[in-house]
Amino acid sequence: MVPGRLATAFEAKPNNLLVAGRRDCYIPTSSSSASHKPLPHAIKTHHQEQAHTLSQSSVEFALHRCLEAVYINTPCSMALLIKPSGNHSATKKKPSLPPRDLLFLLVVVAGRKKVSIGCVASSSSARSETPSSSSGGADVSPAMAAAATHVKAVATIKVTVGGFLSSLRPSRAIDDLKDLIGRSLYLELEKPTLRSYAHKVAVNDDEVTYEADFDVPADFGDVGAVLVTNEHYFTEMFLENIKLSSDDSSSSDDVSATAAPVLDIRCNSWVQPNSGDGNGNGDEPGKRVFFANKYPLCARYRAFGTKWAAPLVPAAATGTNGAAGSADQTPAGLVSYRKKDLEEKRGNGHGERKSTDRIYDYDTYDDLGDPDANPDKARPVLGGSKQFPYPRRCRTGRPMSTKYPDTETRKGSNYVPRDEAFSEVKQLQFSVTTLQQVLHAAVPAVQSTLINPNLEFPSFFVIDKLFEDGVKLPKAEDLGFLRSALPRLLQTLRDSPGDQVLLFDLPANVKKDKFGWMRDEEFARETLAGINPYAIELEFPLKSKLDPAVYGPAESAITAEVLERQMGHVMTVAQAMKQKRLFMLDFHDLFLPYVHKIRALKNTTMYGSRTIFFLCDDGTLRLLAIELTRPASPTQLQWRRVFTSSTDTTESWLWRMAKAHVRAHDSGHHELVSHWLRTHCAVEPYIIAANRQLSEMHPIYQLLHPHFRYTMEINALARSALINAGGIIELSFSPQKYSMEISSVAYDKLWNFDTEALPADLIRRGMAVEDPNAEHGLRLTIKDYPFANDGLLIWDAIKGWVKAYVARFYPDAGSVAGDVELQKFWNDVRTVGHADKKDASGWPALDSPESLSHALTTIIWVASAHHAAVNFGQYDFGGYFPNRPSIARTNMPVEEPMDAAAYAAFLDNPDQALRECFPSQVQATLVMAVLDLLSTHSPDEEYLGGPETAPWNDDGEVRAAYGKFNARLKEIEGIIDGRNTDRKLKNRCGAGILPYELMKPFSQPGVTGKGIPNSTSI
């Protein structure tokens, strides 16, 4: 066969079957085609203006692709076009650089006899493709080859369940064939490009290994990046890493002097099949670039922007300290790839995202409501307005409702960028096992809904029986209203085997003390060592900031007389204030404006509440008084009353009911503010901004990346089933449909970036004061405050690690201020991701290594330790719902105007009245199951400072700093264990007290009540 011309363009018509996966070959289906013929029967030319000279082997390759189609019995006729070349001399000299599309094919052909790799060094000033040779070896000239070093690239592909399942699809056959002929993975080393197909060399249970070889010329320089093309037609691949090693025959000296050193590129990313339509419609992901992460290069890559076109410094001339001189230069060989990769991740802001996309963009929370399904499910847009300021979430691009144009429709699943999705281990754990439990458990519940969905538990005995008898799994079709709340669960259920009984584990606090929920001292202790340690504050005198004309007097009804009586007259209120002994849970201003709105809903109620504690000499808190307030309305006067413990039995029962209301308020504050808003919701903009503005080669991206794991996915699931209209939060918590609105109010009134740092948070709440002579620079107001004491250990450990890391890359203020990508990232966080608070106080300028370290420490603290503190004890403290009811459904029986019948019923059976106030059976079991799920560590959890996320650049100082971080965290585990056995620390050690372990860094899988994952991942 003579050299020919191959048409690179094709006409994508309906019914065409894209076979080659590129622009080089397109096979239309045809009723007249002869699938029985061994070879394609029609070859003709068109689009001559785009044709390019190819070698004989190119044509063979093209035919080979057609053969693949024949082999899999695809009815086809050929549209692959070949005709004799008009210039045979083109084969005698190096061809001019062909367009990029065809270049791939050329390289592919050249690499047929030997696996090829395309590589680009980092030092050249322009990207120049190395012409291919006909030798079948690496794409280098003979002279260069003589001085070249043989380098082997080993790429590891993780075998996934998705991959396994995909084998069930017909399309898999095509990809199997590609694997067979060794053309499924295509690698290029960056600059100037060397290329090679990688061939499969090993298949294990959980990974497939591909190898490619190439010869790196002597003047190649450091390898800056590897380009990867997944040549499968349909199968995406999860690429774990690529390891480059030099030829064993080369001396180590030669390697370091002339060619690519040993390089370990951690990819951990999905590479999509190269099967686009070629029309730029987003269906053709094309090459993926994975940047090298050698320290000198990485340091030089940290900045990118105005100075990148400055004179270049070859990588080899940089020495080992990239922090000097060339700090803000990106080697030219990588500039275009760096820029292109960020552009791809930013997307164009249009269209609906597909599950295979890796585009990070912002949107408001306009997808919580579902008015198309039910007008009652209309919800306001959170974010983008003064009324409802909110952080931004990931844009999915789903169409807006035509009838409700402010609302995004909820069809399909919530998009997250492909690499943000759960690993399959996590997916299995989440969807098959634990979520299944949610469904199963949700629902003695569902059975009771057939009778009365608001039914309370008939007795405390029945509550206890939940932990003994378990819950029978209902059929999916019997799930009633939960079908819309739990679509993922329903799918899981359909895939699950038949009926089974689910047993709830006894929550840890009940194991320690079954009656702890009734005792005031446990109520108080949990404000310091429970699941919501972010609420208690030093605040006295008690004064509302709300408008007194609307909400009544600003002063509290809790008088000095009441407090001094409850304090046993050991001191006056003035003395107690002076000694900083009076503390409060203040759920007054947050909830009071919503009291009447919530009361207009069915089966719930609301008060504003203030709860006062006295700090005793032994460091414990004594619960003194609770004030419940109902503001005035057009039809009612204000009502408020102070409740205290009492020797009067009636007052004592009222006291229990008042505590139930405060605990429900605390549960709402915990889930809506401390947990959802301050961690899950506030972190998502950091993730989006980092991916839009920081290249994956940027050292700060690499520092933050482990702390973003799975957050977007779990948030998408939350929008799908937890925080949406009619979701579990609305079903089970007192504010019901106003739950998310209240979190918006909290964001408006309470959230500032600077006070998300633990020390600043403690100072803001009056729980600590600055003291340069004290440990951590803080003196705690309550010395035995387990969360603060342990949290500060973790805060300081993170701070030390981040400071060392930042110092390695940023030697001075100018290097921070001049880092264009970094500044863009920070600007994005403030002005786009948190746009509604962009003018609020508390945003530091990133203008020095110190300010950068502090901001990064804050982000990492929030994503890891803050989240762990409020997340992984949820089942321990809330699994037995009388200890933390998510909702209080009935008014106090003494509320005026008095309901005589209700009061009489209360006097007759106060136990019944309390159970009616508690969550219904549906609500309680649903929340128990969800808390069990949310408190679970996945088997593939990655913990703070753990080995899985050790920095993978090769700098000794960075590695040493991480090692020190890891060692300190292990040390902290021992310190915490010691504190939990110290009898002097009565808020964490004593009879029936659950040790405070939520700040212990490491854990086993499951519900353990300890362990700090790197990220907000559940």
Judged by beta carbon, residue 871 or residue 890, the one nearer Fe ion is 871
Q: Which of 525, 431, 909, 1009 is nearest to 713 (CA)?
A: 431
Distance, in Å, from the CA atom of 742 to the CA atom of 745, rounded to the nearest integer, reads 5
Nearest-CB residue for Fe ion: 871
Judged by beta carbon, residue 780 or residue 863, the one nearer Fe ion is 863
Q: How big is the chain, counted in residues?
A: 1018
Judged by beta carbon, residue 421 or residue 473, the one nearer Fe ion is 421
Between the alpha carbon of residue 125 and those of residues 120, 122, 191, 614, the distances in Å are: 11, 9, 9, 69
Q: How many residues bind Fe ion (CB under 5 A)?
A: 1
772 CA to centre of own chain? 36
1018 classed as catalytic = yes
Q: Which of 801, 810, 768 is nearest to 785 (CA)?
A: 768
What kind and span of H or E run contains 195? strand 194-203
Distance, in Å, from the CA atom of 411 to the CA atom of 487, rounded to the nearest integer, reads 12
Judged by beta carbon, residue 57 or residue 437, the one nearer Fe ion is 437
In the complex, what is the shortest distance from the CB of residue 794 to Fe ion, in angstroms, rounded to a whole number? Answer: 17
In the complex, what is the shortest distance from the CB of residue 935 to Fe ion, in angstroms, rounded to a whole number? Answer: 9
In the complex, what is the shortest distance from the CB of residue 835 to Fe ion, in angstroms, rounded to a whole number? Answer: 24
> Judging by DSSP bridges, how do beta strands 621-630 and 639-643 pair with one another?
antiparallel
Judged by beta carbon, residue 442 or residue 869, the one nearer Fe ion is 869
- Active-site entry in 359, 867, 887, 987: 867
675 classed as catalytic = yes
Distance, in Å, from the CA atom of 693 to the CA atom of 701, rounded to the nearest integer, reads 9
Judged by beta carbon, residue 196 or residue 871, the one nearer Fe ion is 871
The separation between the first and the last C-alpha atoms of the chain, rounded to the nearest angstrom, is: 61
In the complex, what is the shortest distance from the CB of residue 718 to Fe ion, in angstroms, rounded to a whole number? Answer: 8
Contact yes or no for 82/2 (Cβ under 8 A)? no
Residues 707, 713, 719, 723: is their CA dihedral positive or negative? Answer: negative
Binding of Fe ion by 396 (CB under 5 A): no
852-871 mask for Fe ion (x: CB under 5 A)? -------------------x
Distance, in Å, from the CA atom of 33 to the CA atom of 272, rounded to the nearest integer, reads 31
In the complex, what is the shortest distance from the CB of residue 1016 to Fe ion, in angstroms, rounded to a whole number? Answer: 6
Residue 1017 CB neighbour total at 10 angstroms: 24
Residues 846, 847, 848, 850: is their CA dihedral positive or negative? Answer: negative
Q: Of 809-838, which residues contact Fe ion (CB under 5 A)?
A: none
Cis previous bond, 897, omega within 30 = yes
3-state secondary structure of 524: helix
- Name the phi and psi angles at 646, rounded to 5: -155, 160
- Active-site entry in 150, 232, 661, 675: 675
In the complex, what is the shortest distance from the CB of residue 79 to Fe ion, in angstroms, rounded to a whole number? Answer: 53
Judged by beta carbon, residue 423 or residue 871, the one nearer Fe ion is 871
Judged by beta carbon, residue 293 or residue 711, the one nearer Fe ion is 711
454 classed as catalytic = no
Q: Of 707-746, which residues contact Fe ion (CB under 5 A)?
A: none
- Name the phi and psi angles at 685, rounded to 5: -60, -30
- Active-site entry in 715, 789, 871, 987: 871
Distance, in Å, from the CA atom of 431 to the CA atom of 437, rounded to the nearest integer, reads 9
871-910 mask for Fe ion (x: CB under 5 A)? x---------------------------------------
In the complex, what is the shortest distance from the CB of residue 840 to Fe ion, in angstroms, rounded to a whole number? Answer: 25
Between the alpha carbon of residue 892 and those of residues 205, 510, 817, 903, the distances in Å are: 61, 27, 58, 9
539-558 mask for Fe ion (x: CB under 5 A)? --------------------
DSSP for 852-866, please give it: HHHHHHHHHHIIIII
Judged by beta carbon, residue 278 or residue 873, the one nearer Fe ion is 873
In the complex, what is the shortest distance from the CB of residue 206 to Fe ion, in angstroms, rounded to a whole number? Answer: 28
What kind and span of H or E run contains 1001? none
- Active-site entry in 440, 665, 680, 937: 680
Between the alpha carbon of residue 384 and those of residues 203, 390, 447, 889, the distances in Å are: 50, 7, 41, 33
Distance, in Å, from the CA atom of 197 to the CA atom of 195, rounded to the nearest integer, reads 7
Judged by beta carbon, residue 644 or residue 871, the one nearer Fe ion is 871
The residues carrying an active-site annotation are 675, 680, 867, 871, 1018
Q: Which residues bind Fe ion (CB under 5 A)?
A: 871
